[in-house]
C-alpha cells in the first residue's frame, strides 16, 4: 500500500541524503539538512506530481566562508572514555 511505499522511500532517500552530504564534504563543501518546509507543497513547487513524489529532505550545500570556519576541536582518545569488560 501507499503508506508502506512512502515509509520505504523515506528510509532509502535518507540513506542517499547521508551519502550526498558525505561526498559533498569530501569535495570541500558543507551541507545542512533542513526541516520545517511545507512538504505537501515542495513537490508541486518544483513541478513534480505530489502524488508520485514524496519530499524527504531539503539539503543546503555550499562553500564555507573562510572567515567563519570554526577551528578544529580537541578530541579525547577513545581509550580515555571507554571501558570494555
What are the structural domains of the chain? 2-81 (3.40.109.10)
pTM, entire model: 0.68
- Convert the pLDDT of each residue in 37-60 to its tens digit: 888 788 888 898 888 888 888 999
CB 17 within 8 A of CB 56: yes
Q: Locate 77 and state its grid cell.
A: 582518545
pLDDT of residue 19: 97
CB 42 within 8 A of CB 58: yes
Amino acid at each position: 500500500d501507499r503508506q508502506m511505499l512512502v515509509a520505504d522511500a523515506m528510509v532509502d532517500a535518507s540513506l542517499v541524503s547521508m551519502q550526498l552530504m558525505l561526498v559533498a564534504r569530501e569535495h570541500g563543501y558543507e551541507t545542512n539538512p533542513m526541516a520545517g518546509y511545507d512538504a505537501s507543497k515542495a513537490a508541486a513547487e518544483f513541478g513534480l506530481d505530489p502524488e508520485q513524489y514524496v519530499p524527504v529532505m531539503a539539503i543546503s550545500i555550499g562553500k564555507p566562508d573562510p572567515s567563519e570556519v570554526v577551528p578544529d576541536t580537541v578530541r579525547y582518545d577513545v581509550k580515555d572514555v571507554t571501558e570494555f569488560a
